[in-house]
Amino acid sequence: MQHELEREMEEEKRREEMRRQEQEDKARRERERSEGRFACLAGRIPMVLAALALIVSVVVGFGVTQNISGMREEVVRLSALSSELASVAALREEVAVLSARLESVGDLETAARKAAISAALEDLTHRTEALAATVGEAGQEKTLKEQAQALRDMLAGLKK
């Protein structure tokens, strides 16, 4: 019986040892599993961050490209606008020159009319004086001289 008791005790120790071993194995497996999860998660976080960084850089790069394209269009449009402004300035100068010429043409017309009338009045004055000198009657001579004086007065008024 003692033998049996010893055997049972040894058997009980073995079972106890096996249970303890199983618990340790179970705890070790649980630890490995949890460490593996965290290790897997720890490996995924940098991948996710790298993917997000790539997406953000692509979006920012696309935005910068669009802004540069827009700026190029603005530069082209501004250069065309500046050449148009130069053309407008040149046209304004030409219009100013033409306006000055038109004013002088208007003045020339008036001056030409005055010159023609003056020449005609001088001619009439000389002819009237010449006719007064050739007429024999005193009354007609006096009238012609008065007419010549009136023509001279008109000529003086026109020259003012």
What's the one-letter identity of residue 143? T
Write down the pTM of the prediction. 0.38
Give the orientation angle of helix 2-134 with respect to helix 138-159, to 10 degrees: 160
Tell me: the pLDDT tens digits for 55-104? 999 999 998 898 898 898 988 888 888 888 888 888 889 998 888 887 77
Helix (H, G, I), strand (E, B) or coil at 136: coil
**Using CA atoms, how far apart are residues 108 and 100, in angstroms rounded to an integer?**
12
Tell me: the pLDDT tens digits for 1-30? 677 778 888 888 889 999 999 999 998 888
Residue whose token pair is 């120790």 = 13
